[in-house]
Amino acid sequence: MSSTRPVPWVSPLLCLAVLVGGGYYALVDDGPSLRLAGFSALLLVLIGLDFLERHIPAPALLLVQVALYIAVNTLDDSGISRALIVLVPFTAYFTFGPRTAIVLGTGCVAALPLLFTLNIPNWQTNAERVSDVVMFALGVVLAITMAAVAVREREARVRLEATLREVETLSAAQERNRLAREIHDSLGHHLTAIAVQLEKATAFADLDPASARNAVGSARWSADRALTEVRHSVRALGRRPFRLTDTLTELIDHLNDDRLTISLDVTGDEDGRPLTPLHALYRAAQEALTNACRHSGATNVRLSLSYDESGASLTVTDDGRGFDLREGFGLRGMRERIEVLDGHFDLASTPAGTTISIRVPW
């Protein structure tokens, strides 16, 4: 059933229960009759109205339903159909809000004692009638409470869906930023290395053909490495286990030449450490080495890597000419990558060199 109400099944289910209970009572008491036929027909009309809810203005629908509830009660000798009256504040809650529902609910509860007073002398001394009033009042309270819970649940679901859409948007933006950093830190690093090696090959082509050939070989290695890392990124960073110390050693071996000496000191053991902080340190080292090769004019770069029980630390120091500490995309991406892990990133640069200190927790 298509409905604008959070719980569209309540009204038809209650009507069906009244139809079964009241019909059974009438058959046992009087047998088939026109009164029973009218009683049943009106309840079926009420059930049908719920299916037409979207096509009838809400105020008009409520007025029609109230009129039918009264008519059903008139034809019902069992008193079971009084339960339908609780649908008045229940339905009004969704259409007009909680205040109107409470007012109508109070009116319905007050109407039953008045009806008993007009039709049943001394009903106040009849325990069954007093119980009817109490149970009816309790039913109205429960109906309003159920409507309130249903409305709040629907509002919470709407807020949740909006939040999920916002999270999806933010996740997409975060993923774009991650990919941008990944391309810069990985592919950008290797392209820089290729450019440096090819520049070296050009410079030494006539003076030292052997060094030029080595530089071309290093450029070719960097190109292969870039292609491999692109494939690994597509395959969720590859399938083989990642070891930071081994990967840094391999990177340094291919960047070292007669103009730049890179050394690595390692303390502690990385075995069993989580991958994400180690990968972040590798990207940071890549960016630092790329900057040292491309911009700093350094002749010596020293990497100090240490592992302990609480995290890992990386310090990269070069003897280049330094810079003015304005962070480009690479350094900003490096800082953001570390801060996402609740790590610490510190950068210091003077005309005598640059030092980058990084700490990431496990």
- Whether this prediction's pTM lies above 0.75 is answered by no
Of the candidate ranges 7-11, 42-46, 289-293, the one whose mean pLDDT is the lowest: 289-293
Q: Convert 280-298 to b/e letters by CB count within 10 Å (16 or more is b).
A: bbbbbbbbbbbbbbeebeb
Mean per-residue pLDDT over the chain, rounded: 81
Confidence (pLDDT) at 315: 92
Q: How many Cα atoms occupy the beta-carbon half-sphere of 318 within 13 Å?
A: 26
Find all residues with CB under 8 Å of 320, minimum gap 6, and list them: 292, 295, 296, 297, 298, 353, 354
Mean pLDDT of 24-43: 84
Between the ranges 123-127, 199-203, 213-217, 355-359, where is the mean pLDDT highest?
A: 355-359
Confidence (pLDDT) at 326: 64
Confidence (pLDDT) at 2: 42
* pLDDT tier for residue 239 given thresholds of 50, 70 and 90: very low
Q: In terms of C-beta density within 10 A (0-12 exposed, 13-18 middle, 19 or more buried), how is residue 257 classed?
A: middle
* Domains along the chain with CATH numbers: 10-165 (no CATH), 243-362 (3.30.565.10)
Q: Report helix, strand or coil for 214.
A: helix
Q: Report helix, strand or coil for 262.
A: strand
Confidence (pLDDT) at 291: 75
Q: What digits encode the pLDDT tens for the residues 328-351?
A: 556 777 788 888 888 888 888 888
**Above 80 in pLDDT, residue 257?**
no
Q: What digits encode the pLDDT tens for the residues 211-221?
A: 788 788 777 77
Of the candidate ranges 158-162, 197-201, 253-257, the one whose mean pLDDT is the lowest: 253-257
* pLDDT tier for residue 184 given thresholds of 50, 70 and 90: low
Between the ranges 138-147, 231-240, 249-258, where is the mean pLDDT highest?
A: 138-147
Kindly tell me the sign of the dihedral angle through the C-alpha atoms of 159, 161, 165, 168.
positive
* pLDDT tier for residue 225 given thresholds of 50, 70 and 90: low
Kindly tell me the sign of the dihedral angle through the C-alpha atoms of 323, 325, 330, 331.
positive
Per-residue DSSP letters for 8-75?
TTHHHHHHHHHHHHHHHHHHHHT-S-HHHHHHHHHHHHHHHHHHTGGGS-HHHHHHHHHHHHHHHHHH
**Above 70 in pLDDT, residue 141?**
yes
φ and ψ at 52, to 5 degrees? -105, 15
> Which residue(s) pair with 302 in the sheet?
263, 317
Confidence (pLDDT) at 236: 44
Confidence (pLDDT) at 272: 80
Crossing angle of helices 34-51 and 58-75, rounded to 10°:
160
Of the candidate ranges 75-89, 171-185, 348-362, the one whose mean pLDDT is the lowest: 171-185
Confidence (pLDDT) at 186: 64
Mean pLDDT of 54-74: 84
Q: Are 132 and 79 in contact (CB under 8 A)?
A: yes
d(CA 264, CA 256): 12
Confidence (pLDDT) at 129: 83
Confidence (pLDDT) at 70: 86
Q: What digits encode the pLDDT tens for the residues 112-121?
A: 888 888 888 8
What H or E segment, with its residue span, contains residue 187?
none
d(CA 246, CA 244): 6
% the chain with pLDDT above 90: 5
Query: Between 96 and 232, whose confidence is greater?
Result: 96
**Above 50 in pLDDT, residue 4?**
yes
d(CA 29, CA 105): 32
Of the candidate ranges 86-95, 171-180, 299-308, 346-355, the one whose mean pLDDT is the lowest: 171-180
Confidence (pLDDT) at 59: 82
Confidence (pLDDT) at 1: 43
- Looking up tokens 């190109």, which residue turns up? 223
Confidence (pLDDT) at 238: 45
Query: Between 264 and 173, whose confidence is greater?
Result: 264
φ and ψ at 268, to 5 degrees? 90, -175
d(CA 15, CA 87): 10
